[in-house]
Amino acid sequence: MLGVLGGGQLGAMFAIAARRMGYRVCVFSDKADVPAARYADRFELVSYRDTQSLTKAVEDLAVVTFEFENVPAEAASAIAKVVPVHPSAAVLHTTQDRIREKAFLVAHGLPCVAHRPVVSLNELTGAIAEIGTPAVLKTSASGYDGKGQYRIETSDQCATAWTILATDRAILEEWIEFELECSVVVARSSQGAIEAFAPSRNQHTNHILDVSVSPSGLPIPVEREAMRQATVILEAMDFVGVACIEFFVTKDGRVLVNEIAPRPHNSGHLTIDACVSSQFEQQVRSICNLPLGSTAQSMPAAMANLLGDCWKNGDPDWAAALSVPGLRLFLYGKTTATAGRKMGHLTALAATSQEALHNVTLARSLACRMPS
């Protein structure tokens, strides 16, 4: 039996992959009605900070992983004394804090945007004087999908930004006019074997991933550099499991690390339908000391998120969406649709990336009754 900390859709997809391979799955969540619970052989409703209950509950498990990086590193450390945890608590400690993550990147010679850690309004004012404007202030921890961020256009907005974020630990990052965003989902085994999926080209709307496309259409040197950096990161962390490295690609072709997600990622959902082994099968293989699977892609693919906004005009028209050739639908089983909440995704397979992108956006517009 495998354990997964977190009950969201990533945990559900992990459980589906694990059960297909003959494993049983125990899901741990601090909320009762979660997608992964529907696929669990055992479900534990427990606080991630209740290390005593967690360590007792994992005693009969073979290995534990996680589906989101905001599990306290202390919980992973405690569990690791009883059963293996992949990725490690040390990886969590680094990646769940933007200041520590940027320090890791700098220490290993990996390119990223100019940045300064700030712990007070005075430090923020000084950092703005060094980096300039525009810049973006981010909370050091717990931010995702654009939450915990404030774009500073002029230096006189520092006090407002500091008040709105209401934190005592943040990071100021240079604002760059990048050409595009891409990501690499990559797996590493305990023996050090690494398999990376081809980079996907990503489009965001309101700071939330909207569409991912693979093949990316990026120049070959850019793809190779992104995959090289992803490999360096996992090796430097002695990472076991699946991670997604998100990149900015600048107008002059530089590849800059934006964030490290120490888990499967939304941009890798297209691997479920398009690749020999999905990112979730790779997660199972890597933490269970199995050989990593092939990342070969059978056809070009595009993935489009289905947010709660799609339900604002009533139930989506799934029949219309699935009338588009090559479409696959994955709904996560969440009971309440709210704006910005990830409720599912569509994947389109086609002869070219452009056709896949067209088909998946068309299908979503039909389902959600909105202009294509």
Segments making up each domain of the chain, as ranges: 2-85, 114-174, 178-368
DSSP letters, 230-294, are HHHHHHHHT--EEEEEEEEEETTS-EEEEEEESS--GGGTTHHHHBSS-HHHHHHHHHTTPPP--
pLDDT score recorded for residue 313:
86
- In tens digits, what is the pLDDT along the chain, a chain of 372 residues? 999 999 999 999 999 999 999 999 999 999 999 999 999 999 999 999 999 999 999 999 999 999 988 889 999 999 999 999 999 999 999 999 999 999 999 999 999 999 999 999 999 999 999 999 999 999 998 766 557 889 999 999 999 999 999 988 999 999 988 999 999 999 999 999 999 999 999 999 988 999 999 999 999 999 999 999 999 999 999 999 999 999 999 999 999 999 999 999 999 999 999 999 999 999 999 999 999 999 999 999 999 999 999 999 899 999 999 999 999 999 999 999 999 999 999 999 999 999 999 999 999 999 998 765
pLDDT score recorded for residue 145:
58
Helices (H), the chain: 9-20, 51-57, 73-80, 89-95, 98-107, 121-131, 158-165, 220-237, 271-274, 279-287, 318-322, 353-368
pLDDT score recorded for residue 2:
98
* pTM greater than the 0.85 cutoff: yes
Q: Which helix (H) or strand (E) holds 137?
A: strand 135-139
Please tell me what DSSP assigns to residue 199: P
Chosen CATH of 178-368 out of 3.30.470.20, 3.30.70.140, 3.30.1130.10, 1.10.3720.10 = 3.30.470.20
Contact criterion met (CB below 8 Å) for 300 and 352: yes
Q: What is the CATH number of domain 2-85?
A: 3.40.50.20
Q: How far apart are CA 155 and CA 271, in angstroms?
A: 43
Q: Cα–Cα distances in Å, from 76 out to 34, 152, 153, 236, 321?
A: 21, 36, 39, 20, 41
Please tell me what DSSP assigns to residue 157: G
Q: How far apart are CA 6 and CA 177, in angstroms?
A: 35
pLDDT score recorded for residue 143:
63
pLDDT score recorded for residue 237:
98
The two domains 2-85 and 114-174 share their CATH topology (first three levels equal): no
pLDDT score recorded for residue 371:
66
Q: Which residues of 112-132 are buried (b: 16+ CB within 10 A; e: fewer)?
A: bbebbbbeeeeebeebbeebe
In CATH, 114-174 is 3.30.1490.20: yes
pLDDT score recorded for residue 117:
95
